[in-house]
Structure 1
Amino acid sequence: MTLKLGIIGTNWITKMFIEAAIATDQYELVAIYSRTEEKGQEFATNFAGDQAVWTDLDAFLQSGIDVVYIASPNSLHFEQAASAIKSGVNVIVEKSAFDNPEQYEKIHSLLQENPSVKLFEAARHIYQDNFKVIEEKIKQMDHISGATFVYEKYSSRFDDYLAGKNPNVLSREFSAGALADLGVYPLYAAIKLFGLPENQYYFATLLDNGADGRGTAILRYPNFDVTLIFGKSTNSYELSEVHGRRDTIVIDNIAELGEVKYDDGQGNLTVISQPAPKNPMVQEAMFFANGLQDNLTTNEYEEAAILSQKVNLVLTKLRQSAGIKFPSDQEY
């Protein structure tokens, strides 16, 4: 069965996901939703085939698609995902999926009312083979002393901010900022590898508009801490590491996972990763396809859903610890 794919959001990450989805041979791009016909048609020229372009969301969701990939600004995810679920359309929503646990609880209720519909949060790195290598190596380590995960990448929109504009990706009004964007990658990695922390603290560097441009988060576990360093206002080339007693897992980039090494602390440094895929979203697209075609076990689907909710919970607590509020927080 080929899944009929519709997309919301006409940006670079949408293009990357579509290319990944097509590469799996499990999806066919059939519909594009855009606020304007012109922009939608322009985006469609990136792909072969005859995709319908819609500017009416309800009509788009009723057009016969099996699954919608949502990569709109974060603040729009909740309403668009809710509309899709009510229409019987499966959902793949980009991180950060939803603003807070209250939104997530409403989505969970809608999924219970529509049991044939599935929802996945796109977090590409945790589905890659090189992330699984890290998971397996951690299981083999006798002791974990802590970890540091770094992902700082200068945003192409930060120049707009400096010019006095208020781009979506750096605006609280669109539920965005460093934590809600790049910070999700190290946070997802930490919770997937180590579970929920006992406490969490976020020390944010705020922009003039109240959004966070960069920051450091500390996740406290019973016997160690995990430090997350991320930002959109500068570049960092620092490695990420998981510390044992003497041994260390060394990761070139916790989001991109280009190379992973294991240092046994006795002078032996071994590359344990495989060459990174050209498109880092292929493996997650395949995982989602398997889930939508009932080729996953119930546990695999539920584990992905629970992990997403845990990330959402900790994201919210981190924001609260830094005093960052989104407009939707006032709705509950």
Structure 2
Amino acid sequence: MLKLAIIGTGNISHQFIEACQLSKAYQLTAVYSRKLETARAFAKTYEPLEVFDNLEQFWKADFDVVYIASPNAIHFEQAKQAITAQKHVIVEKPAFSNPRELRTIIDLAVENHVFFFEAARNYHEKAFKTIEAFLADQTILGADFSYAKYSSKMKDLLGGKNPNVFSAKFSGGSLSDLGIYPVYAAIRLFGQPKDANYTATQLKNTVDLNGNGNLIYPDFHVSIRTGKNYDVLDHAEIYTSQGTLHLNHIQGISSAVFQKHDGSKEKLTINAPQHLMLDEVLAFASAIENKDLTAYHTYLNAALAVNQVLYQMRQSAGIIFEADQK
């Protein structure tokens, strides 16, 4: 069983711990927060648990792997420290702001003989294996993948505040936070596109509220739509020469229905995940415990492809993070 530590005390960390407990592959041992009282309040749910507000002391604690769920722009420095301390690292998506940061972390992990994972949960969903098998003998003509959700931070933004999720300093925006899901789905199903672009509704700091992108493959395009100031209700369609495959969502997939050109329908057998993060935490634990370099490099290659595509899309829209200028 892997000893697990947590950086970040938001709701996403609670969800990750729930999945880890379901997996029975992790034992939670420590939590870090900038404020000790915050770490203690978080730890009450999981006691006994070591709590820290000092990162130097935290890295010396007895754990194997750390889950980092701090604000996006902080991931890079914390991941570097973790790897240097010989800890495996799971970084909540988006793991890093740009390809330079990601490449640095991957190289550092190799040097220190530890693993780095980007926690992009939908990439690991078992539903994609079913979808891949169904599409294997079909000609792909294109796809529309969307993920937009009205942000709980919109009230603050409209009130004149600058929440982290809409901040260039913290590498925020709709594409980074939500658009990463449809991009991961496209790369899981179709591989890396030859080109990508994005147009967006942007704030004065260039960060996007919503936008539409295009992943360009040799024989088809995948449209990407994302937003944090509205909700999307119809999330995913894949077009083939034989018909259209409709998915109920781009993550947490529980339904996939193929409608042929004659109107007849075929329902794929999809086993919805018990927990949205369960498949990913099991994949990470398996790779670490079995030293499975084949699976590990598959995950790394996907993370590299997604990070590069997101960077291309941001550049085409003129979305500039402070991390890009370092």
How far off its partner does 1:163 sit?
A: 1.0
Whether 1:44 and 2:43 are equivalent positions in the alignment is yes
The one-character-per-residue Cα deviations of 1:22-45 (angstroms, maximum 9, x if unpaired) are: 111110110001010111111112
Superposed, which structure 2 residues align to 1:148-167 within 5 Å?
148-167=144-163
Consecutive unaligned residues of structure 1, counting only runs of 5 or more, are: none
- Give 2:4's aligned amino acid: L
Alignment correspondent of 1:245: 241
Show structure 1 runs of 4+ deviating over 6 A.
none
Could you give the per-residue CA deviations for residues 117-165 of structure 1, whole angstroms, max 9, x where no partner exists?
A: 0111111112112122222212132x11000001111111111111111
Shift of 1:108: 2.2
Give the structure 2 partner of residue 122 of structure 1.
119
2:122·2:181 contact (CA, 8 Å) conserved in 1?
A: yes
Greater CA deviation, 240-249 or 180-189?
240-249
Tell me how far apart the structure 2 counterparts of residues 327 and 36 of structure 1 sit (CA, whole Å).
25
Describe how 1:124-203 pairs up with structure 2 within 5 A: 124-141=121-138, 143-203=139-199
Aligned position for 2:98: 100
CA distance in 2, matches of 1:176, 1:271: 37
| Contact 2:128–2:189, Cα closer than 8 Å, also in 1 | no
Q: Any conservation in 2 of the 1:175–1:326 contact (CA below 8 Å)?
A: yes
CA RMSD of aligned residues (A): 1.3
Aligned partners of 1:256 and 1:118: how far apart in 2?
Answer: 25
TM normalised by structure 1 equals 0.95
- Once the two structures are TM-superposed, the CA of residue 275 in structure 1 deviates from its matched residue by 4.3
Task: Give the TM-score taking structure 2 as reference length.
Answer: 0.97
How far apart are residue 277 of structure 1 and its match? 2.6
Residue of structure 1 equivalent to 2:4:
5
CA distance in 1, matches of 2:209, 2:124: 27
The percent of aligned pairs where both chains have the same amino acid is 42
CA contact (8 A) 1:134 1:249 kept: no
Partners of 1:227 and 1:165 in 2: CA distance = 32
Q: Classify the secondary structure of the residue corresponding to 2:234.
A: coil
2:56 and 2:106 map into 1 onto residues whose CA distance is 21
Partner of 1:88: 86
Q: Secondary structure at the match of 1:180?
A: helix
In structure 2, give the amino acid aligned to 1:67. V
Whether 1:308 aligns to 2:298 is no
Distance in 1 (CA, whole Å) between partners of 2:266 and 2:31 is: 45
State the alpha-carbon separation in 2 of the partners of residues 104 and 120 from structure 1: 11
Q: How does 1:26-37 map to 2 (within 5 A)?
A: 26-37=25-36
* 1:274 positional shift: 2.6
Partner-residue secondary structure (3-state), 2:211:
strand
Amino acid paired to 2:208 = D
Greater shift, 123-132 or 77-86, is seen at 123-132
Displacement of 1:187: 0.5
For 1:232 and 1:198, locate their aligned partners in 2 and report how far apart those are by CA, in whole Å. 27
Q: Secondary structure at the match of 2:90?
A: strand
Q: Which residue of 1 aligns with 2:61?
A: 63
Partners of 1:278 and 1:27 in 2: CA distance: 17
Q: How many residues align?
A: 326
| 2:277 is aligned with 1:260 | no
Matched residue SS, 1:213: strand
Please state if 1:277 is matched with 2:276. no
CA contact (8 A) 2:252 2:273 kept: no
Deviations 1:280-327 (A, max 9, x none): 11111111010110163x221111111101111111111110111111
Distance 2:201 2:252 in 1: 24
Which whole-Å CA distance do the structure 1 matches of 2:183 and 2:144 have between them?
Answer: 11
User: Where do 5+ consecutive residues of structure 2 fail to align?
Assistant: none
Q: Which amino acid aligns with 1:6?
A: A
Counterpart code for 1:122: A
Q: In structure 2, what is the Cα distance between the partners aligned to 1:266 and 1:58? A: 64
Q: Which of 211, 229, 232 matches 2:228?
A: 232
